[in-house]
Structure 1
Amino acid sequence: MSSIASSARIHPLAVVEDGAVIGENVVVGPFSRVGSRVVLKDGVHIISNAVVDGFTEVGADCRIHPMAVIGGVSQSLHEAGEDSKLVIGARCTIREGVTMNSGTVGGGGITSVGDDCLFLANSHVAHDCRLGNNIILSNNVMLAGHVIVGDRAILSGGCAVHQFTRIGRQAFIGGLSAVNYDVIPYGMLNGNPGILGGLNVVGMTRAGIERAVIHKVRRAYKDIFEAEGSVRSNAAALRNDYLDCPEALEVVDFICAESDRAISSPYRGKA
């Protein structure tokens, strides 16, 4: 039995399957379909011609544009129809043709998206991805399975991210880049193969990070990537030097954490 709030507006040409939960002031436009296990929180607006399916929860005040397919089964070769989830936070904008897949049992069973994210046309979020808050995926960005993206990261148009890759908080990925390896917090990556080109100083400044802190992070970046030795050993060796700078420490801890992928660097992929 569906639970549809009295203030919800369901267009007569929309299909809301029995069992769906529809919150207050939700709008479901014409030719849209809402599956039986979907939860639409208060204020969600599905404009028209969109599909929300699977075991999917869409946060309050999200806006879903035409031709988006949200909560479809994963494209994993191991997909076997198990119950898995897609959870989207509040106030996300999902533009035309966006696709987001549910998780897989082998990957934890959930794909998650934070609050206040913007997904531009035809971007794709694959199974078991975990996205933070205030993220922007520009047109045609492709996230493979199990990708982790930190808060306030920006991925420019047409870039592709390899499965199991981590992208740190406030990183910036240039258009058409191939992201084959982890990108540090505040890192700026461009090219195919992707080359780390320094720090996203503009983004850091816009986020209100003080100039003195940016200089410390720059010094840590230089100590990690320009010194002799491996990137991980360099980061581990200087951790105690940056205990007074959470932003630099975040970079160090990101590099030292266990990961399925190597770390993007200014030199990886160069002749």
Structure 2
Amino acid sequence: MKQQKSFKKMDVGKLYLVPTPIGNLEDMTFRSIKMLKEADLIASEDTRNTQKLLNHFEIGTKQISLHEHNVKERVPELITYLLEGKVIAQVSDAGMPSISDPGHELVLKAIENDVDVISLPGASAGITALIATGIAPQPFLFYGFLPRKTNEQKQSLEKIKELESALIFYESPHRVVKTLKVMLEVFGGNRKAVLCRELTKLFEEYTRGTIEELISFFEDTPIKGECCLIIEGFDGQVMLSEVEEGLSIREHVLQVIEQNKVTSKVAIKEVAKIRGIKKQDVYKEYHLE
């Protein structure tokens, strides 16, 4: 067990996690600007992108790159700087470091070496989008990017399809419709869904509807820019398969008994869960004959 006193003086340096704007530069906080000016070094996901930000706010602090391709070599180097007493500010291209961006490895190593890790509040696309969608924001699950392969997407979505939380995904504009079609297959078409595009920028856009409606609308409409996809949480109504839809409740119970080799009591409970109805109602229907 360790306890961090973030602003207690130490012999080693400190690692500051500094959020950057997701689009509009006016969202940069006074504290973030101050921190980037005062740091000994800025660890950036892409030094070229960060340099534009630094130039805008007249910040002259030296940068060093830290991204997914050099993390193994760079993290030990940065830890050495921190142990020498230097203050490092870590930034990603947009939003919060470590959230669908590089950074977590450096945080872990800093903690391991008893270096204080201090997070500054600021912009995050997922939360920014969620509270404007109209979908109940609590609880929520931030998922980030799904796997690219369809089968892996299905497996991931199956694990979370019955969560009552709002679901936050990031997606490439070129893959949004394809991903929605996989969601249609796993979640059904009636769940509320909102595609949030170009947040905080001039062409910011929220398209609200159901999964099915979004697919229909965007199938022949090119999507551009950064996208965030918010999906309504599970409401307790499980999708029935075409076969199950054609069965009476009693026939459905008998099918579960036969297929799963279980007692009627267990089957009644399972059918109630699948259909989203009370066990007592299933019990009555099953024992009518």
* Range of TM-score over shorter length: under 0.3
TM-score (norm 2): 0.24
TM-score (norm 1): 0.25
Tell which has more relative contact order, 1 or 2 (C-alpha 8 A, sep 6+): 2
